Amino acid sequence: VAILLYLTHKYKVPDYWYPQDLQARAHVDEYLAWQHTTLRRSCLRALWHKVMFPVFLGEQIPPDVLAATLAELDANLQLLEHKFLQDKAFLTGSHISPADLVAITELIH
């Protein structure tokens, strides 16, 4: 995240990347903070419980733990869709922002 914000300051990029308007910028910052503490945690737990432990470490995760992990991920994905994306083309409005880049890299995993 820090490098993305650095690049928006260093180079002359369109304002929608990291808006000068504080309210618009707050939407980008809100998502970046939420993603780092919520969605990232859920995605990593799902990856470790579903793939890393069983495939690479040979450890099976109890079905109830895996179900709880996947339910948490699903709840956070629903929150992503309903709170941030809504019916917009991008997370913070009608243009791409660092929030979208961070989100897509997390979701691709």
Question: Which pLDDT score, from 0 to 100, does residue 109 have?
Answer: 78
Please provide the DSSP assignment of 41-92 as one string: HHHHHHHIIIIIIIIIS--PPPHHHHHHHHHHHHHHHHHIIIIIITTSSBTT
**CB atoms < 10 A from the CB of 88, how many?**
11
| Choices 1.20.1050.10, 1.10.3720.10, 3.20.20.70, 1.10.287.1080: CATH for 2-108 | 1.20.1050.10
Question: Which pLDDT score, from 0 to 100, does residue 54 have?
Answer: 97
Give the residue extent of every domain in the chain. Answer: 2-108
Q: Are 54 and 61 in contact (CB under 8 A)?
A: yes
Percent of the residues in the chain that have a pLDDT greater than 70, as a whole number: 100
**CB atoms < 10 A from the CB of 60, how many?**
11
Q: Are 43 and 15 in contact (CB under 8 A)?
A: no
Looking at every residue in the chain, the average pLDDT score rounds to 95
Question: Which pLDDT score, from 0 to 100, does residue 101 have?
Answer: 96
Mean pLDDT of the 30-35 span: 96
Mean pLDDT of the 80-103 span: 95
